[in-house]
Amino acid sequence: MNKGLKIFGILTSIGMLIVLLQGSIVTKTDSGDGCGETWPLCFGEWVPSSPAIATIIEYSHRLVSGIVGLMVIILAIWAVKKLPHIRETKFWALMAVLFIIFQGFMGAAAVVFGHSNIVLALHFGISAISFATVILLTTLAFEDGTRRPAPRVKKGFRSYLFFVLAYAYLVIYSGAYVKHTGATYACEQFPHCGDVATFGFQAGVQMTHRISAIILVVMLFILFIQAFHYRFESKMLAGSGLSALVLILVQAAAGVAIVYFPDAYLAAALTHTLVITFVFTLLCYMAMLVTRNRAY
């Protein structure tokens, strides 16, 4: 059922993953100025002539983002037409379209009006939401025609899950802010920051992110314990909780690797970025599951 929609959803999800990777590479290689201050043109040209490496990185990111953006809009319209009987379809379709457009505007604003650290960090946060909406729309296509999971959970668990979801987004933002303020190597040790005498703004940004990230690990461990209680009622809920916990540990390890293995910075940084996006997507999926049935 809906084979075409499923295939297109998978392709769009892969496209979003590529956009995330490209955006992260743009950030990690400081290629944001690769096309100057013009958008959508690149140095006033549709196709840059004799481009530098930074220009190729930035231009390819813009090109792929535009194509994938159109795919997201098509996916949303297609899902609404094919899955109108599923309660979540219209909501996630609307979110997918709104956030992919917002993501594009944020990227354009960063180029035209200057590279504000706050705007650039928010741009990645919006990208994480866009990725999650596409994954969830694709998930709905695969659930159609099957017994859709609808665990009956306590209000306390549902409230805690939504709190963790919101907190995880703030951690994502703080991590992006670390990079865009140049605070990646403000602390040369882990978990503390070394010499207190040299502690400044960048070290403060780095330590704020580290503390918030450690708290998130603890919160996800508690979330998994709570979700595990529903393992007989919903294997998907319990499995998602376990997956989120495992992934956040991988993400933490990648963050530590950035500090101690600078030669492997790009690989560790890309892993760090992608994994936290997957964690956020899993939390969104869990939130969708627990809203399908009334809490008690």
Amino acid identity of residue 248, one-letter, is: I
Q: Are 19 and 61 in contact (CB under 8 A)?
A: yes
Q: 51's torsion region: left (phi>0), alpha (psi -120 to 50) or beta? A: beta
Q: Are 58 and 28 in contact (CB under 8 A)?
A: no
Reduced to 3 states (helix: H, G, I; strand: E, B; else coil), residue 230 is: coil
Distance CA 16, CA 269 (A): 18
Residue ranges in the chain assigned as alpha helix (H): 3-28, 53-82, 89-112, 117-143, 155-180, 201-228, 235-260, 265-290
Burial class of residue 165 (count of CB atoms within 10 Å of its CB; 0-12, 13-18, 19+) = middle
Q: Which residues are catalytic?
A: 58
Q: Are 154 and 138 in contact (CB under 8 A)?
A: no
* Exposure letters 219-242 (e unless 16+ CB within 10 A, then b): bbeebbebbeebeeebebbbebbb
Is 272 annotated as a binding-site member?
Answer: yes
Distance CA 253, CA 270 (A): 12
Distance CA 91, CA 53 (A): 40
Q: Are 165 and 219 in contact (CB under 8 A)?
A: no
For the annotated binding site, the residues are 209, 272
Residues tagged in the binding site annotation for heme:
209, 272
